Amino acid sequence: MEEQLIERAKQGDDDAFQQLIEQHLKTVEKFAFQIGVSPSHMEDVTQEVFLKVYRFIHKHNRGKFTTWLYSITLNVIRDFYRKEKQMKRKTIELQKYATQQTYIQDNFDEEARELHQMIHRLEDKYKIPIVLHFFHGQNYQEIANVLGVTEGAIKTRVLRAKQKLKAEYEKVGEQL
């Protein structure tokens, strides 16, 4: 079904492409949020992701579509925050931080909030593999394809990320 949609989208069928967006929008937003995209930036990021997918879909002819989509999302997020950094203004940053806090407050219970923040604090090289592995069901090889590194490197990173996360989780758990 998805293969057919991709083929139709490659032929320039905009309805098929819109169906692809509908199918994957939630995944892109979830991943972007987990990687650290502020809710106030979400629409800009998803727009840019699907714009890129639209531009290059005719070139996508090997590998899983979702793997490719995660790569594009990561590239867009990196670039988005690189630009943001250039235009950084403290007041705006504070407003965005407040928006994010309110959003997390509204959508997660206390335990989930803590765990989300712990993941959020991990370095990207640990955060991205663990997010893709635990919350997006990607296997090591698929994550390796997204990040352009070896499967072995991903195995190590997921293991270390899990150890770090678990240790902090248990530490916080004892304090509560």
Partner 1 sequence: MSKDFEKSLERLNNQYDEMPTQSSSIKIMANIKKQKKRNWTWSKSYQRLQVAVLIALMIGIGYVLGVSQLMNQPDTAMEETASDQVGTMEGASFQAKQAESFDEEAGAVHESGEYDMGIFAAEEIDDSFLITITDEEGQEVEKQVKVFEDEQFSFSTYYDANFHVEEGVSGEGRSIQIYADYGEGPIEPLLFEMFQFESAMSYDNQVEAYRMMMNESGYTELESNDYLIEIGIPGQVVEEFLFQKDDVNVHVVPVERGEEYFFFKTSTVTNNNSEKIEYMEGYVRELNVILNQDHFMWIYN
Residues in contact with partner 1 by the rule CB under 8 A: 14, 17-18, 21-22, 25-26, 29-30, 33-34, 39, 42-43, 46-47, 50-52, 54-56, 59-64, 67-68, 71-72, 75-76, 78-79, 82-83, 86, 107-109, 111-112, 114-116, 134-135, 144-150, 165-166, 169-170, 172-173, 176
Amino acid at 38: S
Burial environment of residue 105 by CB neighbours within 10 A (0 to 12, 13 to 18, 19 or more): exposed
Nearest distance in Å: CB 101, partner 1: 15
CB 171 within 8 A of CB 160: no
Cβ–Cβ < 8 Å for 66, 24: yes
What is residue 148's DSSP assignment? T
| Comparison of 2 and 43: residue with beta carbon closer to partner 1 | 43
- Structure tokens that stand for 121 in this block: 């604090």
Q: What's the token pair of residue 54?
A: 């639209």
Could you tell me the smallest distance in angstroms from the CB atom of residue 22 to partner 1? Answer: 5
Nearest distance from residue 115's CB to partner 1, in Å?
Answer: 5
Q: Cβ(80)–Cβ(99) under 8 Å?
A: no
Closest approach of partner 1 to the CB of residue 113, in Å: 9
Q: Which is nearer to partner 1, 50 or 126 (CB)?
A: 50
CB of 17 to partner 1, least distance (A): 7
- Cβ atoms 157, 129 nearer than 8 A: yes
Nearer to partner 1, 21 or 160 (CB): 21
Rounded distance between C-alpha atoms, residue 65 and residue 73, angstroms: 12
